[in-house]
Amino acid sequence: NGKINLDNTMDILRIPIECILYDESNTPYVFIVKNNIACKNIIYPGKVSNNYIEIVGGITLNDSVILNPPKTLSDKTKVKVVSNK
């Protein structure tokens, strides 16, 4: 007899790979929007699948992450949210 070990079913937070930037130390981060301000947030990535990356820490489900942030964007920059898709 064999056993199949099923992990606990949990929601997995995934974001598009295009959201992620890397600093000079190769630390991954994203920009999230809080009160129309772009805030640099270090993330802890997990597995990559179909152009999405699992996030195991650093952001939550309720955070608004900037997709394709320009490399010129800096922490605490005022931004305008134009889409929430």
Residue 36: left (phi > 0), alpha (psi -120 to 50), or beta? left
Residue 17: left (phi > 0), alpha (psi -120 to 50), or beta? alpha
- Give strand pairing partners of 35: none
In this predicted model, what pLDDT tens digit does every residue of 45-61 receive, in sequence order? 999 988 999 999 999 98
Stretch 16-24: mean pLDDT: 94
Residue 26 has pLDDT above 90, yes or no: yes
Q: What is the 3-state secondary structure (H, E, C) of 16-45?
A: EHHHCEECCCCCEEEEEEECCEEEEEECEE
pTM given for the model: 0.80
pLDDT of residue 81: 83
Query: Percentage of the chain surpassing pLDDT 90?
Result: 67
Residue 18 has pLDDT above 90, yes or no: yes
More confident call, 12 vs 49 = 49
